[in-house]
Amino acid sequence: MGPLIPNDIIAFEWNHIIALLIGICFGFILESSGFSSSRKLAGVFYGYDFVVLKVFFTAALVSVIGILYMDFLGYVDMSMLYVHPTYIWAAIIGGAIMGIGFVSAGFCPGTSLCAVAIGKKDAIVYVLGIMIGVFIFGLLFNYLEPIYNGYFLGNITLMDSLGVDPYWFVFLFTVFAVIAFWVVDLIRKRVKSVFYN
């Protein structure tokens, strides 16, 4: 049955409208969850608030379990789902730049836009920085293209690269998530006891 648009169940022209509606809902949920607060987001790096890690870990886990279950029942054809191509150098360098921006400003690109929507000045500065960075990258793209397109691995998933059966991968991922939640709770309690006692 699914994906709905590639199988012509929903017309292709609805693609951007559906994406816009999902984006609005996602932004509303981020803001309602307090993710427009740079303090909450930076808390992951300083050890006093792991809500962001737990929410996104849970979202990833629920999504992958849902996709596998729907594929098993025949409602979704996993082979037709889009997998973003993997370029190792672009991922490493881009991840490092985003990580530095995340820890220094307390925002990722998505949460910064939520914070801009409610008028936070630090987020406005952050988004302006993103725009300047994108503009500079566009100007220098001809020079950076070999790095940008370097070490292409194709449209692979983590399951493909590890050579693990999808169902085993989900099981191991679930175990890892439970252990991670337990560890971060220990860290949060220890940090809280140091700063509040």
Residue 1 pLDDT exceeds 60: no
**CB proximity list for 57: less than 8 A, separation 6 or greater:** 177, 180, 181
What are φ and ψ of residue 155, in 5° steps?
-90, 75
Q: For residue 114, name the pLDDT band (cuts at 50, 70, 90).
A: confident
At 23 the pLDDT is: 87
At 196 the pLDDT is: 58
At 93 the pLDDT is: 92
Structural domain spans, the chain: 12-196
Residue 186 pLDDT exceeds 70: yes
Query: 123: exposed, middle or buried (C-beta count within 10 Å: 0-12, 13-18, 19+)?
Result: buried
SS (H, E, C) 20-74: HHHHHHHHHHHHHCCCCCHHHHHHHHHCCCCHHHHHHHHHHHHHHHHHHHHHHHC
Report CA 104 to chain centroid distance, whole Å. Answer: 18
> E strand or H helix at 154, and its extent?
strand 152-154
- Convert the pLDDT of each residue in 128-179 to its tens digit: 999 999 999 999 999 999 999 988 988 888 888 888 888 898 999 899 999 9
Which residues pair with residue 138 across a beta bridge? none
User: At CB < 8 A and 24+ separation, what contacts does 162-168 make?
Assistant: 166/68, 167/68
Q: How many residues does the chain have?
A: 197
At 124 the pLDDT is: 93
